[in-house]
């Protein structure tokens, strides 16, 4: 009985690969955009182009990185404040603040490079 169930299961699963399925693909990119916008109607997601969506994502990432930078600077300053002359804690606080500033420089420069490249492509 067990062998029969396994064989039956293999036949059923393999039949999915043998039976052709109907594909309703659009022929042009303009048609695909219309279908995607129609599918958004019931979801509550706003309809827009990809550039505005990417802009919103970049804005969110920059906001989050700014909050992380602020948190790390605050943490480093607070650690330095509570060090009470302990050189080990002061060194840790300095490293935290320097790492936060380097991270902010990396994020701002990557935004500047991305903005420069996209402005060249979009005109």
Q: Is residue 53, in this structure, part of any structural domain at all?
A: yes
Query: Per-residue pLDDT tens for 29-63?
Result: 666 667 667 777 777 666 666 777 777 788 888 88
Buried b / exposed e along 28-65 (16+ C-beta atoms within 10 A)? eeeeeeeeeeeeeeeeeeeeeeeeeeeeeeeeeeeeeb
**Domain assignment present for 87:** yes
Task: Tell me the residue range of the domain where 64 lies.
Answer: 46-123
Banded pLDDT at 96 (limits 50, 70, 90)? very high
The structural domain count of the chain equals: 1
Residue 28 lies in a domain: no
85's torsion region: left (phi>0), alpha (psi -120 to 50) or beta?
A: left
Domain membership flag for residue 80: yes
Say if 123 falls within a structural domain. Answer: yes
- 16 inside domain: no
């Amino acid at each position: 009985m067990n062998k029969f169930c396994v064989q039956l299961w293999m036949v059923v699963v393999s039949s999915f690969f043998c039976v052709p399925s109907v594909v309703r693909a659009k022929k042009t990119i303009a048609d695909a955009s219309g279908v995607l916008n129609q599918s958004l109607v019931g979801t509550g997601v706003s309809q827009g182009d990809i550039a505005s969506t990417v802009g919103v994502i970049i804005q969110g990432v920059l906001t989050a990185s700014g909050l992380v930078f602020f948190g790390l600077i605050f943490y480093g300053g607070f650690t330095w404040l509570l060090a009470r002359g302990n050189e080990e804690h002061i060194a840790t606080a300095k490293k935290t603040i320097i790492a936060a500033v380097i991270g902010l420089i990396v994020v701002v420069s990557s935004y500047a490079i991305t903005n420069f490249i996209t402005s060249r492509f979009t005109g």
